Structure 1
Amino acid sequence: MSSETANDAEILAHVEKFWEGRKPHSPIYQFLLDDIKLIHASKGVVRARLLLTKAHVNAHGGIHGSVSATLVDWVGGMAIAAWDKRTKTGVSTDIHITYQTSAKDGDTIEVEGRAGKVGGTLAFTTATIWKVVEDKLGPIIATGSHTKFVRV
């Protein structure tokens, strides 16, 4: 896997509960991430897998940039929730994404979010999105950084 941190069942349960409570209030998350599966959580680290469908790709057949941006946004919030089991993860102030390759309808991807620092006002996260090949991490599709205002 992409991380050396051991899975923490208590943090994973918290993040799953947080996600299930949040999803009904976000139509875009419901549309794009309804089938995302959380597979790992530890302090400040979350990983999930998603099977891409026609809803996730652009006119050229590759993962749409807006889907990658949504994933960076989503996994950053989940990583903040995993930092200290919080139930409010703030609002975005900045998202930056670097695209490196693509994935298509039918591909499985894995996304990892890491909270590098969660302070009283701001939280800083990073994200990596991989294509999964033969159930292992393959090429990196995109990397991102995400800053959130957490004093809400």
Structure 2
Amino acid sequence: MSGVSGFCRTVSHVKVIKVNSGNCFAKLTLQEDDLNPMGGMHGGLAATLIDNISSTGLLSHSKWREPSPTIRLNLSYLRNAQYGEEITIESKVLKVGKNMAFVDVEIRNAEKELLVKGEHVKLRSSSS
């Protein structure tokens, strides 16, 4: 993700592959800074990936063109990934309403095993 600043630099090494109609697909090879003290993908990284990738996708939706705050972010951690593993992050818009948008996100490993399942709800910050 190029052109990022502040806390979002945490995921600056993410490669966004495709953004279309509210959806986003990205890849990341886990680096040392991405790991928790036990050597697995840090849960905070997973939450940040889900927040950023779903928000990036949502901005491409024809009915949601402005940045907006998160009102709910739910994650289920199912498996872990280790240093050097490539993971994919895929977000899919479920619904865009007048004031809220609902996005599902999955983080998977190279074997396509589900690592983290996320649900993201965004609140429209303007009355447009």
What TM-score does the superposition give when structure 2 sets the normalisation length? 0.90
Q: CA deviation at 1:143?
A: 0.5
Distance 1:140 1:78, change over 3 A: same
Match of 1:82 among 60, 68, 78: 60
CA distance in 1, matches of 2:93, 2:44: 22
Q: Please give the secondary structure, in 1, of the residue aligned with 2:109.
A: strand
Calculate percent identity across the aligned residue pairs.
25
Matches within 5 A, 1:20-59: 20=2, 23-24=4-5, 27-30=6-9, 32-59=10-37
Q: CA deviation at 1:41?
A: 2.1
4+ aligned runs moved over 3 Å, structure 1: none
Structure 1 unaligned residues grouped into runs of 5+: 1-18
Structure 2 unaligned residues grouped into runs of 5+: none
Count of residues paired in the alignment: 126
Greater helix share, structure number: 1
For residues 39-81 of structure 1, give each alpha carbon's deviation from its aligned partner in whole angstroms, at most 9, with x where no partner exists.
1222121100011111111011111110111011111211211
What is the Cα-based RMSD across aligned positions, in Å?
A: 1.7
CA distance in 2, matches of 1:132, 1:89: 31
Q: Which residue of 1 aligns with 2:96?
A: 118
CA distance in 2, matches of 1:73, 1:97: 10
